Amino acid sequence: MEMASNPRTVEEIFKDYSARRAGVVRALTYDVDEFYGLCDPEKDNLCLYGHPNESWEVTLPAEEVPPELPEPALGINFARDGMNRKDWLSLVAVHSDSWLLSVAFYFGARLNRNERKRLFSLINDLPTVFEVVTERKPVKDRPSVDSGSKSRGSTKRSSDGQVKSNPKLADESYEDEEDEHSETLCGSCGGNYNADEFWIGCDICERWFHGKCVKITPAKAENIKQYKCPSCSMKRGRQ
């Protein structure tokens, strides 16, 4: 990657951070079994990379010295079998948070003081990978139909299986509800609730998801009587 192609503005750097973070979160949550299997302690030093296209990869570190970008924690696979699985994943999550921040501020080296502050503010609005993996954020807190939350794009099913849109109330109510639902996170990527995006709630585990993360469009949602997220669908399939 040439320096000219690197993200330069606050918005570009945050977009890169968000995409890399989404890949890492997916590796440590929805793809966790695959990730766990790839981190074989018998292999050489391995790193977990999140890429700008929201994918993830477990591979050897870069051979260049010094590397083109800051590198993730080296040798995450060595501790896998010597720790409780949950504790090991939490450790990888902490190191991943550190790596994501280092990459963002590497790209932001030429930002001024106010721009760096704005970049960190954007990053800080998202839960850390550690918080998502350890469920330290109330993932199950979600917008409700009756609360009139800030959800032009989210949906909730009534008892008869019909999809209902959450109405948006007057500006003062909108501001009150913004704080109430600011902690609602996507069960897939861990991103915060956003009124401008379509969301869908799982009727089994009651977690909420970006439609794009679970590949459900508003049109598809209209024809689904009971939505089951990928995780619940897999659990039901194993039974």
Are 163 and 222 in contact, with CB atoms under 8 Å apart?
yes
User: How far is it, in rounded angstroms, from Cα 185 to Cα 135?
Assistant: 10
CA atoms within 13 A on the CB side of 214: 26
User: How far is it, in rounded angstroms, from Cα 213 to Cα 119?
Assistant: 24
State percent of the chain over pLDDT 90. 48
Count the helix, strand and coil residues of the chain and give each as a percent rounded to the nearest 5. 40, 10, 50
* The pair of three-digit structure tokens given for residue 218, joined into one six-digit string: 């508003």
pTM: 0.57
What pLDDT does 239 receive?
A: 52
> How confident is residue 237, by pLDDT bands cut at 50, 70 and 90?
low
* The pair of three-digit structure tokens given for residue 176, joined into one six-digit string: 């009150």
Indicate if the pLDDT at residue 195 is higher than 90. no
